[in-house]
């Protein structure tokens, strides 16, 4: 049992340490070195509270029209630009989807369905995080998200990414009991791995806070060209590493950021670079989870 102070564990107990150099070789379909999954975050933001912002001086205003409208560009314009670019290079999205987006942006859901994109749960909206709430409340939220996405898309989500990658100590357990198979909150590996949960099973899929346009543009101040270069550099190293054992490259994107005209062309440049290589598997999250599970005999 993990050591605790009060009721908060000092050790998570979800998995043991594992050095990637000591694992059995991971082989992807058709000898691919890298499994690429692209995660567009399709989100809904509440009008009465602050959230992701490009200008800080208005974040205390209610309403903060400047930043709200800047975010709203993503579903009105940016996602459509992303869809066009991704379809051009044969890349299917695995969407981190706020369930509120199903209600407010049905045209986006319909378009994603026509492109055979996958949908994973991403909380109710991106103004509410999963932390500091009772277990029963978290369970209600997860059930509502799963139910809403299932009704809107015809398929129950198999994966989960929390808003701002937030969790309680019970999150993986609650996800597993609601039929979710993989979670992307834990950004600590280049390969999937099993997590311990109270019942059922849970797989961690690699996600990134660095190959992420939010970090790149809002935290690090990178230009679109800089981020495009970083994506290519990330891929080149993982492609080299993948000669010995398969790797996962996640590309984590927000339509109100990468979908801006001055950045989108660098996203396209990066996809062109990646798809010019032969040993690349353009995968969706569920496909990666299924392959990993089947090759590990679970």
DSSP string, 127-183: T--SSS--HHHHHHHHHHHHHHHHHHHSS---EE--GGG---TTHHHHHHHTT--EE
CB 15 within 8 A of CB 253: no
CB 43 within 8 A of CB 161: no
3-class DSSP state for residue 261?
helix
Please tell me the distance from the alpha carbon of residue 273 to that of residue 291, in angstroms, as a whole number.
Answer: 25
In this predicted structure, the answer to whether residue 297 has a pLDDT above a threshold of 60 is: no
Could you say which DSSP state residue 242 is in?
Answer: T
Please tell me the distance from the alpha carbon of residue 171 to that of residue 166, in angstroms, as a whole number.
Answer: 9
Identify whether 115 is part of a domain.
yes
Please tell me the distance from the alpha carbon of residue 204 to that of residue 181, in angstroms, as a whole number.
Answer: 9
pLDDT digits (tens, 9 = 90+) for 256-285: 999 999 999 999 999 999 999 999 999 999
Six-digit token string for 252? 């984590």
pLDDT digits (tens, 9 = 90+) for 181-200: 999 999 999 999 999 999 99
User: CA–CA distance from 294 to each of 25, 110, 151 (Å)?
Assistant: 14, 31, 28
φ and ψ at residue 165, rounded to 5 degrees: 55, 35
Give the pLDDT of residue 4. 46
Give the pLDDT of residue 9. 85
Q: Residue 274: which domain range? A: 25-49+60-295
Residue carrying structure tokens 């799963």 = 146
pLDDT digits (tens, 9 = 90+) for 84-99: 999 999 999 999 999 9
CATH label of the domain that carries residue 105: 3.20.20.370
Domain count, the chain: 1
pTM: 0.95
Identify whether 4 is part of a domain.
no
Give the pLDDT of residue 104. 98
Identify whether 81 is part of a domain.
yes
Average pLDDT on 102-113 reads 98
Identify whether 225 is part of a domain.
yes
Identify whether 9 is part of a domain.
no
Beta strand 118-121 with 94-97 is parallel
């Amino acid at each position: 049992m993990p050591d605790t102070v009060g009721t908060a564990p000092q050790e998570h107990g979800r998995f043991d340490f594992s050095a990637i150099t000591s694992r059995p070789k991971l082989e992807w379909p058709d000898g691919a070195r890298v499994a690429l999954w692209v995660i567009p975050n399709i989100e809904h933001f509440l009008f009465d509270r602050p959230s992701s912002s490009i200008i800080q001086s208005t974040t205390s205003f209610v309403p903060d029209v400047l930043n709200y409208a800047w975010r709203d560009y993503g579903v009105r314009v940016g996602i459509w630009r992303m869809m066009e670019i991704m379809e051009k290079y044969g890349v299917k999205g695995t969407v981190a989807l706020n369930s509120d987006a199903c209600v407010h942006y049905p045209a986006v859901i319909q378009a994603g369905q026509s492109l055979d994109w996958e949908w994973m749960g991403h909380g109710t909206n991106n103004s509410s995080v999963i932390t500091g709430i009772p277990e029963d409340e978290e369970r209600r939220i997860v059930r509502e998200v799963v139910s809403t996405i299932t009704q809107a898309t015809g398929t129950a989500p198999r994966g989960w990414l929390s808003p701002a990658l937030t969790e309680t100590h019970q999150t993986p357990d609650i996800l597993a009991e609601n039929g979710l198979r993989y979670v992307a909150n834990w950004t600590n590996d280049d390969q999937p791995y099993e997590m311990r949960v109270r019942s059922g099973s849970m797989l961690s899929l690699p996600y990134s806070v660095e190959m992420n346009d939010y970090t790149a543009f809002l935290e690090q101040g990178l230009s679109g060209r800089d981020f495009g270069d970083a994506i290519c550099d990330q891929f080149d190293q993982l492609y080299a590493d993948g000669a010995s054992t398969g790797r996962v490259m996640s590309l984590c994107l927000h339509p109100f950021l990468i979908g801006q005209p001055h950045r989108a062309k660098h996203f396209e440049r990066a996809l062109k670079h990646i798809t010019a290589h032969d040993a690349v598997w353009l995968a969706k999250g569920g496909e990666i989870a299924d392959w990993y599970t089947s090759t590990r005999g679970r």
